[in-house]
Amino acid sequence: MTNIFLSVAAILGGLSVALGAFGAHALKEKLTERSLEIFETGVRYQMYHALALLLVALLLTRAEIPQTSLIASGFAFIAGVVIFSGSLYALSLSGVKWLGAITPLGGVAFIVGWGCLAVAAFSFK
């Protein structure tokens, strides 16, 4: 799992930089200010959780930390990025309003991920 989470974290981090640059340069003149803000929120949360996933991957190398909680945390962070950031990208680029209804599910996944990380931290020996 460590290698998978480390690889996914690197990919998500790199993509957030590329998407941020894309938004700042290519989309600046094409989207409304509000749509650009929505896009940038997706980029920001993607980067935060790429870094969180990196932390999870590094913590998985420590045998004294419960693996189950960390693995659950990693998968929740990945799901959160796909659902939260993905729905914000789709909303900002398409303007389809109902996509905004999906976004909170990604937020819940982020919260679950942080909760699982807290459980792992409290179980640290």
In tens, the pLDDT along 12-61 reads: 999 999 999 998 888 888 888 999 999 999 999 999 999 999 999 999 99
The Cβ of residue 98 has, within 10 Å, a number of other Cβ atoms equal to 8
In tens, the pLDDT along 64-102 reads: 777 899 999 999 999 999 999 999 999 999 988 888 899
In this structure, what are the phi and psi dihedrals at residue 84, rounded to the nearest 5 degrees? -70, -60
CA distances, 107 to each of 33, 52, 63, 68, 110 (Å): 23, 14, 29, 21, 5
- pTM for the whole structure: 0.93
Place of tokens 């819940």: 108
